[in-house]
Chains A and B, each alone.
Chain A
């Protein structure tokens, strides 16, 4: 069986003619999707199945992970790819379900704003993370790490 020959649609609901943008969107969803499978399944495995699973997660655990540049880059890549992949998916849903131009525009502005804010917030958190904040009860800190850093 052969894939049916498809003709380019004469119009799309958004009223704009199809452009290269949709082609890049199609390619991006597939490429980022495959990468995200590796990134997210590893994330879930480490955080939920190693050690004490979800019970091990606290400030000291995050400090331990982000002491390694590997996990910083890992989380940053996951953050950017997942938010753009998810944001683009939501854009396609808006195209399908929002019926007026006004509603589509409004929802897309809200979506683009939230995606940008979350990416900026998440990146700042990774880049400005302080594993040993001044004046914290040492019981809450990753003591070994903070001693190594000379912060305790």
Chain B
């Protein structure tokens, strides 16, 4: 099928734009839920502890890891966007900077995951 002419350039820049929107929406909805779960401290200590206990289960532990990865991607891609808007150098290398963002995510997750997963799965 012949595709219509489009402004979308594809490749790393456009995919990162999709990732930025998707992670932004996910983090927004997490925050809405998170303020409500934190509000349980005003209901009673029992209610708060009971709900927070679910954050410590293996499934939620993995969701938290995904959330942290999403936050890292969104944060450092945000800095990439600011850089592209500000410096011609960054605009010229915007595609390489996408890989820098993923690289930072991998390095930070490599530091975060062993400790977090041993808390979640080791019970320590």
Q: Jot down 19 A-B pairs with beta carbons below 8 A, ordered by A.
A: A1-B91, A3-B91, A30-B82, A33-B78, A34-B82, A44-B68, A49-B112, A49-B116, A53-B116, A54-B119, A59-B41, A59-B49, A62-B38, A86-B27, A90-B25, A90-B28, A121-B36, A137-B45, A140-B45
Report A88 CB to chain B, min CB distance, Å. Answer: 10
A residues less than 8 Å from B61 (CB atoms) = 54
A residues less than 8 Å from B116 (CB atoms) = 48-49, 53-54
B residues less than 8 Å from A49 (CB atoms) = 112, 115-116
Report A74 CB to chain B, min CB distance, Å. Answer: 13
Interface presence of A145 (CB below 8 A)? no
- Whether the pair B119, A125 counts as a contact (CB closer than 8 A) is no
A59/B48 contact (C-beta < 8 A), A3-B91, A82-B31 known: yes
Q: List which A73-99 residues lie within 8 A (CB) of chain B.
A: 79, 82-83, 86-87, 89-90, 93
Contact pick for B28, options A3, A86, A125, CB 8 Å = A86
- Whether the pair A55, B119 counts as a contact (CB closer than 8 A) is yes
- Whether the pair A140, B35 counts as a contact (CB closer than 8 A) is no
Q: List which A1-49 residues lie within 8 A (CB) of chain B.
A: 1-3, 30, 33-34, 36-37, 40-41, 44, 48-49
A interface residues with partner B (beta carbon < 8 Å): 1-3, 30, 33-34, 36-37, 40-41, 44, 48-49, 52-55, 57-60, 62, 79, 82-83, 86-87, 89-90, 93, 114, 118, 121-122, 124-125, 128-130, 133, 136-137, 140-141
Looking at chain B's contact residues, the main secondary structure is: helix
- Whether the pair A128, B42 counts as a contact (CB closer than 8 A) is yes
Bitwise, B47-65 to A at CB < 8 A (1) or not (0) is 0110010011000010010
- Whether the pair A136, B120 counts as a contact (CB closer than 8 A) is no
- Whether the pair A1, B64 counts as a contact (CB closer than 8 A) is no
B residues less than 8 Å from A58 (CB atoms) = 45, 48-49, 52
What number of residue pairs across chains A and B have CB atoms under 8 A from each other? 111
- Whether the pair B88, A62 counts as a contact (CB closer than 8 A) is no
- Whether the pair A59, B45 counts as a contact (CB closer than 8 A) is yes
B residues less than 8 Å from A41 (CB atoms) = 75
Report A65 CB to chain B, min CB distance, Å. Answer: 11
Contact pick for A53, options B32, B78, B79, B115, CB 8 Å = B115
